[in-house]
Amino acid sequence: MRRKAVIGNWKMHGSRADNAALIEAIVAGAADSSAECAVCPPFVYLHEMARLLRDSAIVLGAQNVCAEAQGAYTGEVSAAMLKDVGCHYVLVGHSERRTLYGEDNALVARKFVAVHSRGLAPVLCVGETLAERETNQTQQVIAAQLDAVVTLCGIQSLEQAVVAYEPVWAIGTGHTATPQQAQDVHAFIRQRLAGQDAKIAAELRILYGGSVKTGNARELFAMSDVDGGLIGGASLKADEFLAILAAAQP
Ligand code: PGA
């Protein structure tokens, strides 16, 4: 049985005080959760958030990472630094990174390697644009996104990882994939990876992301290959996020 997970991606929101208040409310409300709960605050608040999470079961994650290990990369943050401040998860290949910052599959795969080789857990984000869906390229696009990582890092590296299916047309738009649309892509992802290693594919957690909210979380999470969610906007309100977490409990 795969344990469900709900990960909050806070993106670039809030002040130091806002982030602390949010985490305190989530810590208080998530204490009895049987589903895994993780949050990805902005880089500059990670250290403080780790301290606030110290006595809780909530897991800390980062939203991005540098592919390089160290050196003259002004403004970048390494996987070792993220580990040092207490992160476990690191998002790689979020669609905003791919589209706004030009991260291609090759760079995302290198970031995945950087995270994995430090003993952290990559959350590999994949997903198609609306134009790609409308021209029946969804599977082809996602296959290329997965293959870039598997080719560079090996199928074994997926053992520690999580995959997040986030259709670009659903992120922050209010247009959620239907449970069946999500299930179909999740099943495709699992099936494609099963071609390389059936056990790893069967145990891999595949989260859905893209306008998840309290009103649609339960039916999405009820699909057999949907193992939880990566939550953007709705993770910024503790009540809403906790309700989504509750929807992931059996
Ligand atoms: P959203 O974002 O929930 O606001 O659509 C999801 C994400 O970007 O991870």
Sign of the torsion angle spanned by Cα atoms 242, 234, 59, 157? positive
How many other C-beta atoms can be found within 10 angstroms of the C-beta atom of residue 97?
A: 18
Q: Is the pLDDT of residue 191 over 90?
A: yes
Q: What is the 3-state secondary structure (H, E, C) of the chain?
A: CCCCEEEEECCCCCCHHHHHHHHHHHHHHCCCCCCEEEEECCHHHHHHHHHHCCCCCCEEEECCCCCCCCCCCCCCCCHHHHHHCCCCEEEECCHHHHHHCCCCHHHHHHHHHHHHHCCCEEEEEECCCHHHHHCCCHHHHHHHHHHHHHHHHCHHHHHHCEEEECCHHHCCCCCCCCHHHHHHHHHHHHHHHHCCCHHHHHHCEEEEECCCCHHHHHHHHCCCCCCEEEECHHHHCHHHHHHHHHHCCC
Domain segments of the chain as ranges: 5-247
Q: How far apart are CA 140 and CA 128, in angstroms?
A: 9
Domain 5-247 fold is TIM Barrel (3.20.20)
Percent of the chain with pLDDT over 90: 98
Q: Is 166 a catalytic residue?
A: yes
The count of C-alpha atoms lying within 13 angstroms of the C-alpha of 200, restricted to the half-sphere facing its C-beta, is 18
Atom of ligand 1 nearest to the CA of 91: 9
d(CA 94, ligand 1 centre) in Å: 10
CB-based pocket (< 6 A), ligand 1: 9, 166, 171-172, 209-212, 230-234
Active-site choice (94, 96, 128, 132): 94
211-250 pLDDT per residue, tens: 999 999 999 999 999 999 999 999 999 999 999 999 999 8
Residue whose CA is closest, atom 3 of ligand 1?
Answer: 232
Whether the predicted pLDDT of 22 surpasses 90: yes
The confidence score (pLDDT) of residue 199 equals 98
Question: In angstroms, what is the span from residue 113 Cα to ligand 1's centroid?
Answer: 24
Is 90 exceeded by the pLDDT of residue 118? yes
* Catalytic one of 96, 103, 128, 166: 166
Q: Residue 100: pLDDT band by 50, 70, 90 thresholds?
A: very high
pLDDT at 105: 98
Q: Quote the mean pLDDT of the chain.
A: 97
What's the pLDDT at 34? 95
